[in-house]
């Protein structure tokens, strides 16, 4: 048995397709907030984010709009990115609901190119890296919109964002 430390976080095992129930569970690691994020049934059965801190759990329910390839929390933990399409992300407002599910809105790349990576720059700014551009968006929670703040032409096939240094490498 592998043991990394005395404290641990319990999370659901990842399942691609359960034959009996049809339930799918996906796990992601959020490197900004150091949380393990779990998405059950594409969000319709809930999304949760847990850290090593006791009682530090974020949970919400979203509409099933397809399987996410990525989930990341904003630095303050109030918003989440779920990437369900190749050229857009869904922004989930974790503290606002429309009755049973969290309020969410979609932000697409300006260039309509495939997203290589998306990162939180601040609590209300995200950066898309595509094969041909960097696109910085400002998010307005009240209007449920994303606005292009700046674009830059680049040629990228990969990228990594160092949160602590606020440094992007392409």
HSE value, Cβ hemisphere, 13 Å, CA-based, for 31: 11
Residue with tokens 């969410």: 104
Which class is 25-169 in CATH?
A: mainly beta
pTM for this prediction: 0.89
pLDDT tens sequence across 17-42: 655 566 889 999 998 899 999 999 98
Q: Where are the domains of the chain?
A: 25-169
Question: What share of the chain in percent tops pLDDT 70?
Answer: 94
pLDDT tens sequence across 85-113: 999 999 999 988 887 899 999 999 999 99
> Of 6, 9, 15, which Cα lies nearest the Cα of 33?
9
Interatomic CA distance for residues 67 and 21, integer angstroms: 17
Strand, coil or helix: 42: helix
Per mean pLDDT, which range of 15-29, 53-67, 108-122, 139-153 is the poorest?
A: 15-29
């Amino acid at each position: 048995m592998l043991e990394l430390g005395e404290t641990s976080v319990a999370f659901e095992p990842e399942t691609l397709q359960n034959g009996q129930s049809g339930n799918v569970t996906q796990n992601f690691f959020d490197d900004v907030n150091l949380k393990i994020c779990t998405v059950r049934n594409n969000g319709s059965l809930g999304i949760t984010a847990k850290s090593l801190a006791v009682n530090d759990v974020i949970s919400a329910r979203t509409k099933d709009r397809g399987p996410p390839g990525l989930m990341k929390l904003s630095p303050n933990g109030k918003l989440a990115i779920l990437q369900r399409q190749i050229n857009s992300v869904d922004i989930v407002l974790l503290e606002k609901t429309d009755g049973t599910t969290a309020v969410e809105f979609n932000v697409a790349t300006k260039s309509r190119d495939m997203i290589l990576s998306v990162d939180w720059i601040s609590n209300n700014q995200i950066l898309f890296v595509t094969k041909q551009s960097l696109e910085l968006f400002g998010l307005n929670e009240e209007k449920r919109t994303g606005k292009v703040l700046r674009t830059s032409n680049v040629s990228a096939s990969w990228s990594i964002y160092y949160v602590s240094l606020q440094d992007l490498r392409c």
